[in-house]
Amino acid sequence: MSLSEFELIQHCFAEQAAAYTHPDVRLGIGDDCAIIGPSSGQDLLLTVDTLVAGVHFPENLPPYQIAGRCLAVNLSDLAAMGAKPAWFTLALTLPEANETWLREFSRGLFALANSADISLVGGDTTRGPLSITIQVHGYVPAGRALRRDGAKPGDQVYVSGTLGDAGAGLKLCLAGNRENSDFLVRRFVSPTPRLALGQKLLEVASAAIDISDGLLADLGHILERSAVGAELQVDWLPLSDELCELVGQNEAQKLALSAGDDYELCFCVPVERAAKLELIAEQIGVTLSHIGVITEQAGLRLINEAGQPVTSAQMGYQHF
Amino acid sequence: MSLSEFELIQHCFAEQAAAYTHPDVRLGIGDDCAIIGPSSGQDLLLTVDTLVAGVHFPENLPPYQIAGRCLAVNLSDLAAMGAKPAWFTLALTLPEANETWLREFSRGLFALANSADISLVGGDTTRGPLSITIQVHGYVPAGRALRRDGAKPGDQVYVSGTLGDAGAGLKLCLAGNRENSDFLVRRFVSPTPRLALGQKLLEVASAAIDISDGLLADLGHILERSAVGAELQVDWLPLSDELCELVGQNEAQKLALSAGDDYELCFCVPVERAAKLELIAEQIGVTLSHIGVITEQAGLRLINEAGQPVTSAQMGYQHF
């Protein structure tokens, strides 16, 4: 006997959700609203992202990976502000209630949710063109969230991990060349939200953002909100061997600056806290790269190791 | 000079949102997450609903009305649990950033949001087939939320307003006969979330739900979660004159039982609090109708004024 649609969705989500419940959740799935008893002394952070098939991911991406990616990009926003994940909702629009698809989607969703200690408390399933909207909630000690508007001249600019990989991975997916580099494809499909790093950065960073639209665009948001500028050393950009081998050094730098989808953190740290930052990097085992400095002068300037300005023409851009 | 897409969306949402900010909002639109400092002594309630063009509303519905309806159906979930609205997020997927469309959508959204004292704190705008996902948050004094699972045998069953109107209104919209009844069309397009009533029901009701899928289905959820049954008087169902004139008494009763989209509240009240309920109805000026009683015997039975069972065949149903 095949399960009815309702039972299917119930089984794929409500039963899985019951496996882990955040202690503040008073009532999860199954009533008109979820009920939360918020922790005191904490600020509640929330963010929502929609991913549309054919726009934010290739239509043929396996449902396990779609689910993981959707949750990961939301968790990344919590990471960027130093929040500890708490609970989330899922609004899923899909063309048909296909059992295999739903089971795989659910498996991918809860694999990441359980590892991030975030519990599903509600949602909505509707019929229509495939799209997924996830809203995540997390906690930060009151008044301590890492915002975009705290960067000061002299602060050092850092990024986690390597940049540009996901942009190349997406191109491989779209061109049907996934076999060319498992590593790069995985960097697009399964980004790692830097949750442990984000929470540790509360102790040292003055501003932070996650890199979804590319380093230039996202660091640009910090500069704008903080009313400062920055000077970046293009030769200090962290590039993976896999990326440089596939596209060469110059193209790799371009992808690192503007491709997006890496979901690494870009953040600013006052010089006197740089030693503490090194300890943090060792503790959590994430590579952090110093890539530049915040300046009083507005705008974002790229320079090479000789200290010479790198023009947009040299990088092959029209604008940045 | 025409506004860029970003500026357009900024203008339509972020600037409008700034007009009213809930006191608990520490940071609204413009960073990776919104930041809330939750009120103490309160439970936080949240619910999310997606409305897809061509599925949940006719594709040609004016954007002002689409926005109002989307927010209203979410607010109705808060009303059903007795919550006071606080803040919300909007995830909007649309085929193109059409300025007229966005301005009208925003106008409809904030007309209702401002009247309900709920502030927009975040969102996401993506390109794709038109769909709207709204998540609303509200407060109820800790431990006091009206749930579906509190109905007891002997409790009286009530509904607010009139039933079946929205179902007839939707049919008029789909058939292109909106001019046949402004009233019925408005009941579909602009449902009234019963927020004041819901908050007052915290003092008297044992269980409540909003009627989105039809009285039988939604009361069914209360019965299931409360492990009770109910007996409904079909002749006591509140029907509008407009509905009876358009479709006749028998069809009106059928729509009242199963059409949905009315977003009235269905709730249960212990007999000894019936007098207090009457005072509440007077205070807030909403018509409340006593339509039946909760029973120990499981299942939902329909009877007529003579106390005779009404069969599904008599009502013209295959099942209910």
Indicate left, alpha or beta for A261 from its phi (over 0: left) and psi (-120 to 50: alpha): left
Confidence grade of residue B244 (pLDDT, cut at 50, 70, 90): very high
In a mutagenesis test of the A interface, which of B4, B10, B31 is the best target, namely the one with the most A β-carbons within 10 Å?
A: B31
> Which residue in A45, A121, A127 is closest to B34 by CB distance?
A45
pLDDT band at B30 (very low <50, low <70, confident <90, very high): confident
Report how far Cα B49 is from the mean position of its chain's Cα atoms. 11
Cβ pairs bridging A and B (under 8 Å): 181
Strands of chain A, DSSP E:
25-27, 34-36, 42-52, 84-94, 119-127, 131-141, 156-160, 207-210, 229-233, 265-269, 288-295, 299-303
DSSP state of B53: B
Cβ distance B45 to A36 less than 8 Å, yes or no, reads yes
Listed range (A289-293, B77-81, B175-179) with the worst mean pLDDT: B175-179
Helix (H, G, I), strand (E, B) or coil at B112: helix
pTM across the whole model: 0.92
CA dist., res. B249 & res. B235, Å (int): 10
CB within 8 A of B161, min separation 6: which ones?
B192, B194, B238, B262, B264, B286, B287
Q: Say if CB A45 and CB A78 are below 8 A apart.
A: yes
Output the CA torsion B95→B100→B106→B107 (10° steps): -150
Q: Sort out which chain A residues have CB atoms less than 8 A from B31's CB and list them.
A: 81, 147-149, 225
Kindly report the nearest CA distance between residue A146 and chain B, in angstroms: 10
Which tokens sit at B121? 């704190």
- Taking contacts as CB-CB distances below 8 angstroms, the residues of chain A near B225 are 30-31
A-chain CB neighbours of B37 within 8 Å are 43-44, 142
Q: Find which of B33, B43, B139 to mutate to test the A interface (most A CBs within 10 Å of its CB).
A: B33
Superfamily of domain A156-313: PurM-like C-terminal domain (3.90.650.10)
Note the pLDDT of residue B63.
Answer: 95
Secondary structure letter of residue A53 according to DSSP: B
DSSP string, A101-140: HHHHHHHHHHHHHHHTT-EEEEEEEEESS-EEEEEEEEEE
For the record, the structure tokens of B123 come out as: 């969102």
Nearest to B31 among A48, A127, A147 (CB): A147
**Above 90 in pLDDT, residue B19?**
no
Q: Are A319 and A252 in contact (CB under 8 A)?
A: no
CA atoms within 13 A on the CB side of A95: 7
Angstrom CA distances, B46 to A122, A135, A239, A263, stand at: 8, 11, 42, 27
The CA-atom distances, in angstroms, between B179 and each of B54, B129, B238, B248 are 20, 28, 24, 18
CA dihedral A310, A314, A317, A320 (to 10 degrees): 10
Inter-chain residue contact A135 with B135, CB threshold 8 Å: yes
Q: Which CATH number fits domain A5-141: 3.30.420.40, 3.30.70.3270, 3.90.1150.10, 3.30.1330.10?
A: 3.30.1330.10
Report residue B101: phi and psi, to 5°. Answer: -60, -50
∠ at Cα A22 (A17, A23), nearest 5°? Answer: 135
How many angstroms separate the CA atoms of A245 and B33, rounded?
Answer: 36
Name the residue among A277, A286, A155, A265 with its Cα closest to residue A219: A265
Structure tokens at A98: 């296909």
Name the average pLDDT for chain B.
91
Whole-number Å distance between alpha carbons of A66 and A84: 23
**A46 within 8 A of B89, measured Cβ to Cβ:** yes
B38-44: average pLDDT: 94
Residue with tokens 């090479």: A304
Q: What is the largest CA-CA distance in chain B?
A: 71
How many whole angstroms from its chain centre is CA B182? 20
Determine the Cα–Cα distance for residues A234 and A138; give it in Å rounded to an integer.
Answer: 34
* A75-88 burial code (b ≥16 CB/10 A, e <16): bbbbbbbbbbbbbb
Would B5-141 and B156-315 be classified into the same CATH topology? Answer: no
Q: How far is A140 from chain B (nearest CA, A)?
A: 9
Q: CA nearest B29: which of B91, B134, B122, B125?
A: B122
CB B178 within 8 A of CB B187: no
Q: A45, B37: Cβ pair inside 8 Å?
A: no
Interface residue of A48, A52, A148, A213 to substitute, partner B, most B CBs within 10 Å: A48
Q: Which residue of B has its CA nearest to A48?
A: B123
DSSP A153: T
What pLDDT band is residue B5 in, cutting at 50, 70 and 90?
Answer: low
Kindly report the backbone phi and psi dihedral angles of residue A317, in degrees, each rounded to the nearest multiple of 5, phi listed first: -100, 155
Please tell me which of the candidates A124, A135, A148 has its beta carbon nearest to residue B89: A135
DSSP secondary structure letters along B141-178: ETT----TT---TTPEEEEES-SSHHHHHHHHHHTT-G
Fold of the B156-315 domain: Phosphoribosyl-aminoimidazole Synthetase; Chain A, domain 2 (3.90.650)
- CB-nearest to B26 from A43, A54, A77 is A43
Mutant choice from A24, A26, A31, A118 vs B, greatest count of B C-beta within 10 A: A31
| Cβ contacts of B127 on chain A, cutoff 8 Å | 52, 55
Share of chain B above pLDDT 90, in %: 77
pLDDT of residue A175: 85
Chain mean pLDDT for chain A: 91
**Taking chain A, what is the end-to-end CA distance rounded to the nearest angstrom?**
58
* Residue B242, C-beta contacts closer than 8 angstroms, at least 6 positions apart: B165, B181, B183, B184
What single letter denotes the amino acid at residue B14?
A: A
Looking at the complex, report in whole angstroms how far the Cα of residue A308 sits from the nearest Cα belonging to chain B.
Answer: 33
Low-confidence ranges of chain A (pLDDT < 70): 1-6, 312-320
Domain chopping of chain B, boundaries: 5-141, 156-315
Backbone angles phi, psi at B291, to 5 degrees: -120, -5
Pick from A48, A143, A147: CB nearest B135: A48
- Taking 50 as the threshold, does the pLDDT of residue B293 lie above it? yes
Residue of B nearest to A123 (CA): B48
How far away is chain A from the Cα of B75, in angstroms, using its nearest Cα?
10
Chain B environment of A81 (Cβ under 8 Å): 31-33, 35
Prediction ipTM score: 0.90
Task: Describe the crossing of helices A249-258 and A165-174 by its angle, rounded to 10 degrees.
Answer: 100
* Gap between the Cα atoms of B74 and B61, Å rounded: 18
Neighbours of A295 (CB within 10 A): 17
Distance from CA of A43 to the nearest CA of B (A): 5
What are the structure tokens assigned to A37, written together? 């008893």
